[in-house]
Amino acid sequence: MPTVPESTRSSLAQRLTAHARTSWPRLAGLYVRHRGQFAYVDGELADGQAIKLMRLRYGGSASTWGFALYLASSD
């Protein structure tokens, strides 16, 4: 199980934040946390409500990620 290098963590956060600014204007913030090979991405709405968005699985390089949407039914 490869862990995500610090440089890749930083570039991922920058790429996601840039994409969120242009594609998700309702988000006031975007937060990425890492655990092992996974990156969990949460968004924050203007009213402060946090919403879970997705999970990414590191594939060994900065450009290779697996993608899974967060399902509210899994809570």
pLDDT tens-digit map of 44-62: 999 999 999 999 999 999 9
- Max CA pair span of the chain: 37
Low-confidence ranges of the chain (pLDDT < 50): none
Exposure letters 45-60 (e unless 16+ CB within 10 A, then b): eeeeeeeebebbbbee
pLDDT the model gives residue 36: 95
In DSSP terms, which residues pair with 32 in a beta bridge? 41
pLDDT the model gives residue 1: 66
pLDDT the model gives residue 2: 78
